[in-house]
Amino acid sequence: MFKIGQEVVCIKSNVHINGNIGVKRDKTYTILNIIQCKCGNVSLDVGISMSDVAGTNCGCGRDINYGTIWYQRSQRFRPIQLDHAFANEVIAEIIELVKEEELVKLN
């Protein structure tokens, strides 16, 4: 479902016990790395690191990474999807503009 380099939007904020915000709802992030726990759960590196994070716990009890990267559970994100109706509107407008331009040239 997720791949490195993909843009995702946060749907559930994550606040550290010390009050620092990990990821914020409605904010867009880019996936830098993906790791999967032995339990099957997928966590994402979206560029959040904290000096006092010594590793990330999956939630099943296993440590999934050591270091200052604060991996976020993939359930906190959804892929950014193109709104096709809006895209079609924009394309139709561009076609109209091109047609007008061509008519001006013909005259």
* Positions in the binding site for Zn ion (CB under 5 A): 37, 39, 41, 58, 60, 62
Q: Least distance from C-beta 55 to Zn ion, angstroms?
A: 13
Q: Least distance from C-beta 40 to Zn ion, angstroms?
A: 7
The residue (of 27 and 62) whose beta carbon lies closer to Zn ion is 62
Instruction: Say how many CA atoms lie within 13 Å of 15 toward its Cβ.
Output: 4
The residue (of 11 and 39) whose beta carbon lies closer to Zn ion is 39
Q: Least distance from C-beta 28 to Zn ion, angstroms?
A: 26
Q: Least distance from C-beta 38 to Zn ion, angstroms?
A: 6
Among 58, 3, 59, smallest CA distance to 30 is for 3
The residue (of 10 and 73) whose beta carbon lies closer to Zn ion is 73
Q: Which strand (E) or helix (H) includes residue 40?
A: none
Beta-strand ranges (E) seen in 1-107 are: 7-10, 14-15, 21-23, 28-30, 33-36, 42-45, 56-57, 63-65, 72-73, 77-79
The residue (of 9 and 42) whose beta carbon lies closer to Zn ion is 42
